[in-house]
Chain A
């Protein structure tokens, strides 16, 4: 079942085509990463699905139903920057979130403030918070009432390394509990660690989307090494089925069409050619590498 279905969304700002017919589905229970360089349309897309921007055309649905304010109340969201009343404390700001969305209660407010480690400063004015504290409050607001759906736009912005790790663990914990999380981020390493699905945007166009494994694996890579690298290189120069070879100082990589590589066959081939391998591994591309390939950066 899809939590969110986005169909052919288009949005133009003057001469700039910010979104050019974006379509994808977010499966229930997934951690769905939305990736893309600056200006790729991530925030525009999230803003449309949260109804703060009007799409020029296309549509989207939450829970299989047309979007509505009542459905939005069930979604915890952090969009772009923490937006709070500067003269109010964390508690009073969250009371407003509670009053509008109906999510959480007074005990719930304290609980989320403890979770994001702001409880001690709960009565301080928002204007007195550091950037990281403001971001933590925004995350607390999104978590209020334990919504099943979270939309988080750059949730680790402004956080220190410990804060980033805490948010990563929080996302993993929520995912294990069955929450669906839609997350836009520049931090590919973070996305790779927590996301089950990704969509990659570039200049308003969806380049690819799907499960992380499907997106990352466009070919099979066998990485191997031996004491005599020259002999290994010579022996594998005519290995059947490979599409290309990459040679490093201590290892080399054989590239195969997706789903065709067999480490066992490579090992046997080398053994039959009198080479004892010191290292053999099926390697997956890093998301970062794949992202740069797809976005041509």
Chain B
């Protein structure tokens, strides 16, 4: 295992694309959450009535414990950035035909995939670490000492972690199947943003009201629901979404098993 990790590190430590996208990821996660926070702060800092009413309506989504849910939701919108990296790391191997050279040099096909699995795990861990740092930074800087149970919603860290790993695993599967970086990335974004949203709506309307949540990325998207203040727009629907999270955990784990099962099965059967 250590050798697999060492070899992957040799591949990526001097790969400019890795550092560029990692840099963008590192900047974008604090950036998007910071932006939302400052918009909120600007609009509620005013002592005028309208601003204070808005503050009453929104509550403080950036205070503990709600900040865990708010940043999880905002961060989940940018999962496509590390997905670019995951897709590039697998499609590069096809582009340079180094996936076959790795096997020729003595890795088994499974070892190659385990090495790539480690990549996805590590990228997920970096993204999760960013989420934790951003959440704690915003939370501690906005929350007064009077707030009890600061970490009441800390389990959103685990939910967000599962979501990130599931969606990056899906991106990896697409990269492995499609082999071409831009096509795989295009399919990932097109599928996730357009196809699945439309499919979910159609399924919900024409099959059953709850069918859309079983789709591959929708299932993990529902792990990080919208912040509570947005939920007030339709409290009933929001409460239902919160109630489904436990089921979505199992559906997502099921998809993770399917994604990686497919990855290993395809690679075993495929000519390199």
Query: Min CB distance, A2 to chain B, in Å?
Result: 21
Question: Do A84 and B7 touch across chains, with their CB atoms under 8 A apart?
Answer: no
Query: Min CB distance, A59 to chain B, in Å?
Result: 17
Question: Do A51 and B10 touch across chains, with their CB atoms under 8 A apart?
Answer: no
Contacts of B105 in A (CB 8 A): 72-73, 77, 97, 100-101, 141
Contacts of A79 in B (CB 8 A): 100-101, 104
Question: Do B104 and A99 touch across chains, with their CB atoms under 8 A apart?
Answer: no
Residues of B105-133 contacting chain A, CB below 8 A: 105-109, 111
Name the CB-closest residue of A to B111: A69
Question: Do B101 and A83 touch across chains, with their CB atoms under 8 A apart?
Answer: yes
Contacts of A83 in B (CB 8 A): 96-98, 100-101
Q: Which of B7, B10, B111 has the most CB of A within 10 A?
A: B10
Q: A87: CB under 8 A from chain B? A: yes
Contacts of B3 in A (CB 8 A): 99
Query: Min CB distance, B5 to chain A, in Å?
Result: 10
Question: Do B106 and A95 touch across chains, with their CB atoms under 8 A apart?
Answer: no
Q: A81: CB under 8 A from chain B? A: yes
A83-108: CB near B (< 8 Å → 1, else 0) gives: 11111100010011101111000000
Interface residues on B, range: 20 to 34
Query: Min CB distance, B154 to chain A, in Å?
Result: 39
Question: Do A73 and B106 touch across chains, with their CB atoms under 8 A apart?
Answer: yes
With contacts A72-B105, A100-B7, A101-B105 taken as known, whether A87 is within 8 angstroms of B97 at the C-beta atoms is: no
Q: How far is the CA of A270 from the CA of B98 in the complex (A)?
A: 65
Stretch at the interface among B11-19, B54-62, B169-177, B203-211: B11-19
With contacts A77-B104, A83-B98 taken as known, whether A52 is within 8 angstroms of B271 at the C-beta atoms is: yes
Residues of A44-91 contacting chain B, CB below 8 A: 47, 50-54, 69-70, 72-73, 77, 79, 81, 83-88
10 contacts between A and B (CB under 8 A): A52-B271, A69-B108, A70-B106, A73-B106, A85-B98, A92-B14, A96-B10, A96-B11, A97-B105, A100-B105
